[in-house]
A = this chain, B = another copy of it.
Amino acid sequence: MITRSATPLLAEKRVAHLHDFPLACGRDLERVTIGYETYGRLNADRSNAILVCHFFSGTSHAAGVYHPEDALPGWWDPVIGPGKAIDTDRDFVIAMDALGCVRKDHPHGLTTGPATVDPVSGQPYGPDFPPLVVSDTVRAHRQVLRQLGITRLKAIVGPSYGAMQALEWATRFPDEVEAVVAAIGLEGFQAREIGLYHLMEQAIRRDPAFRNGRYSADTPPSEGLGLAIGLMLWSSSGRAQMVDTFGRRSAAPGRNPAKEPTARWAIEEWLSQEMGVRAGFVDANAWIAMLRTCMAWDLAEGFGSLERAVSAIQARVLLLPALGDELVDMAHHHDRLVATFHATGKTVEVAPLPERFGHLAGLVDIGLASDALRTFLNEE
């Protein structure tokens, strides 16, 4: 699924700093650190900057490799690089960590969030980190871009949580972004999604090792966190891919889970392995904070209605929904968003991703959107 060019893009993590950053909740962050990566070069009139925003558990490592021998490139490498849909020979691409980025294996220190040290107390924020909303990350990214001399973006692109940021930006700062590519995105969390994320949060909170967020680095709530991750993985994976890959196979040949108490199904073994491995890469408090940021997200917030929010958008918009998405149901989110664009007299382009990988098509199958993405970014 992941294509590698013959000479991979070399990525380097950089860090930007903000001071006394005001959050939507009313509290300030005295110091903010944000990790980012850039690919390509900013042109003389600073008109070729494309911001890439990451998904729930992603980071700013969107493309390329840190070292030629890295096993895997960044998460949207199939569409970011020299000659690719987001062409780094032509455009200057900036990928930035969201505030509260959940990864704790960041190669050059952490982007500010629950796992980082509160400069006031000298201790990690932990559960005391203030609640974040999507617009906090949007405003933080905007300040970092200004430090880089960028006041207007050619495009903002991203999948899932990244799509939320891209849409939010287009409504909040409509004259600063020319184009938006929202992959596997939605217009706001509704009761069904909030309920699922509540269960993920409960999976972590009910692990006694969580200790109300006061766990130590040595004894994190790995069991609860793994369960939450399993739920995210299950709900974002495609039905077709799960059925094709695992079907009703036993995890071990010759053993029958229908008749042997200790035998397991192949899908169970896969989930268990992923839950164990992935829990080691993320911080539980940060994961909960990101869940709550998503639950809170509503594009209509501050506008009174989705129609008014969409009316504010000046950017051209390309949506890349996934046909098999069961986390962000197309009929209830994508269709509503498209209908609202039409109702407000705006055009919107749509290029659906195939069904097979479910929500994760926005990552796994993004290369299949190369032509649509290239054409859209080259228009005008």
Contact = CB atoms under 8 A, between A and B. Distances in A.
Interface in A179-203: 188-192, 194-196, 198-199, 202-203
A248 interface: yes
A93 to B, nearest CB: 31
A272 to B, nearest CB: 8
A195 B267 contact: yes
A206 interface: yes
A149 to B, nearest CB: 33
Q: How would you classify the secondary structure of chain A's contact residues: helix, strand, loop or mixed?
A: helix
Interface in A204-225: 206-208, 223-224
Interface stretch (A115-123, A239-247, A341-349): A239-247
A16 interface: no
Interface in A222-253: 223-224, 226-227, 230-231, 234, 237, 239, 242-243, 245-248
A159 interface: no
A26 B265 contact: no
A260 B27 CA distance: 11
Contact of A268 (B25, B198, B224): B198
Interface residues of A, number: 56
A208 B206 contact: no
A194 B265 contact: yes
B239 A227 contact: no
A198 B131 contact: no
A230 B202 contact: yes
Given A203-B203, A329-B239, A257 B191 contact: no
A226 B260 CA distance: 26
A260 B296 CA distance: 11
A339 interface: no
Nearest to A358: B192
A206 B223 contact: yes
A163 interface: no
Contacts of A259: 24-26, 131, 133, 296
A186 to B, nearest CB: 13
A325 interface: no
Contacts of A239: 192, 329, 332
A293 to B, nearest CB: 9
9 A-B pairs closest in CB distance: A258-B296, A191-B246, A191-B242, A191-B267, A198-B268, A206-B223, A25-B259, A195-B267, A192-B239
